[in-house]
Structure 1
């Protein structure tokens, strides 16, 4: 899977999943623009990629503003001559329940995740269309955006919005040969290490270097490296016909998230009054959806 003629921007790639994506793309030959708000992390990432024989430069800037998106694309073109792949990975957390969430906590998360994905995708597409050779948008979502998650109004809302934008972009960009896909990874990172449910397993991994099958297969969570291959695959020619999809990946598991679909369709002549809906609800309720992640009883026992 040769990406030696490709150039990629990966936002939020100084550490964690973003670094894994950048490293794997570089290992397959792509030149990469590493982005992070932490200059030390970005420089270290670039050094590691270069030491392994890859090509990389750093842009230290916060994702969200249009100016950062423009800088990222301009750097790719100035340093490597073109842009082929945009991976929108940058993200932050400001977790708290709805009634305690401040405007600032909401806006900060939405700005980085949702607006940052939008501004970076827009600038990349402008360049892709100018080059006239197609391109790849790979936008990082989350299971929280698909199922919801307690204390993450801002994060789950932004991640759900990212998948919605990807589906729209897949339609808008198809004629230009540009694909748009979402990846919803689950991996051991700074964001997941604090989750009490996973903490004992992560501590075990730190001691032994392995995670049990319950985590790797049933939960679909592994190392950051386990989730990197999907980005390289979607950036390759082998994925040229794949667009508008939301992939779940982690540990030993890969899957596709379904698009929302209508369930339990029923009709009532002349429309629906409140009383009619009350009468119809018992039948409809048999098809109601659950919320939040559903974990195996073995994991949640005693929690």
Structure 2
């Protein structure tokens, strides 16, 4: 079986996708968006009941989906997900590496287990799932799409998230590396950087009241949807079927942000200032020249705090 080609480049009929962590939140939104555009989807979640319910919801809406429970991180789990896609639907065209957990603590309180658990799920899980998917896609010889899930924390750092920020920064680096390695095979590799109302973000005080109102059926205001690029999981999901489609065949190696009403392209790290010293630098010459040369405009760190009205913040 080969992927069907439609006059509409956004039609994913005939394509098969795996979405890790697809049972809830953003992952579920990605899975349903892919299915709505015609893809057959393997919905992965650590919780088998959650995965089954998510797949059932997709099928009940007229899509094609199956569930596969697995704890993402190991090579065995990744191989199981790819094998399930091939067994059920005959091929694999799209791998969305969304599965993740949080173990937030400041550096001096973070344990080895806190660090390892997050890095295993996010970074190693992305690596093992992408590797397994790539092997299958190269065997098929028809290209494919890796959609890796990043975070603003991986682009700028975030207080209390040593493990999470490091893993997400690694995913951005793998995106760039794999885009080069897989170009000849026709496999595109992009990272999405979503910002949405989820169980993770509702713990942020500046967002909490707005998310509660949204849960009661209200609308997130423009100061979030436009000002912060912060919206619903469904807002972020639009990017996934696009990157999985033929309309995005020339897009690879990019970190693309989405949330609310905003779509962005993140820059790759690059030198922003340069200075030279004949014969090379010494500690003294660096100290004497730092603030007047390359250190004149130091780079900022962290995710900017939401700009909410003063009366709301009180």
TM beyond 0.5:
yes
Instruction: Name the counterpart of 1:211.
Output: 220
Structure-2 separation of matches of 1:293 and 1:139: 20
Which secondary structure state, in structure 2, belongs to the residue aligned with residue 270 of structure 1? coil
What are the equivalent positions in structure 2 for 1:32-181 lying under 5 Å apart?
Answer: 32-181=41-190
Rounded to whole Å, the distance in 2 between the matches of 1:281 and 1:162 is 32
The structure-2 alpha-carbon separation of the partners of 1:216 and 1:115, relative to structure 1 and needing over 3 Å to count, comes to same
Identify the residue that residue 4 of structure 2 maps to in structure 1. none
Segment drifting more, 207-216 vs 239-248 = 207-216
- Cα distance in 2 for residues equivalent to 1:209 and 1:6: 35
Give the structure 2 partner of residue 221 of structure 1: 230
Offset of residue 281 of structure 1: 1.0
Task: Name which of 293, 296, 302 aligns with 2:303.
Answer: 293
Question: Scaled by the length of structure 2, what TM-score is found?
Answer: 0.94
Matched, 1:30 2:39: yes
**1:296 shift after superposition:** 5.2
How many angstroms apart in 2 are the aligned matches of 1:85 and 1:274? 50
Structure 1: unaligned runs, 5 residues or longer = none
Helix, strand or coil at the partner of 1:56: strand
CA contact (8 A) 2:206 2:308 kept: no
Q: How many angstroms does 1:298 deviate by?
A: 3.6
* Superposition deviation, residue 297 in structure 1: 4.3
Contact 1:146 1:160 in 2 (8 A): yes
CA drift at 1:279:
1.1
What is the distance in 2 between the residues matched to 1:2 and 1:52?
17
Asked whether 1:275 is paired with 2:272, we answer no
Cα distance, 1:204 vs. partner?
A: 2.1
Aligned to 1:192: 201
- 2:274 is aligned with 1:235: no
Q: Is the 8 A contact 2:17 2:96 kept in 1?
A: yes
CA pair 104-300 structure 1, distance change in 2 beyond 3 A? farther
Say what the alpha-carbon RMSD is for the aligned residues: 1.2
Per the normalisation by structure 1, the TM-score is 0.98
**SS class of match (1:247):** strand
Q: Secondary structure of the equivalent of 1:48?
A: helix
Contact 1:197 1:299 in 2 (8 A): no
Deviation at 1:208, TM superposition (A): 4.1
**C-alpha distance in 2 between matches for 1:189 and 1:203:** 11
Structure 2, unaligned runs of 5 or more: 1-9
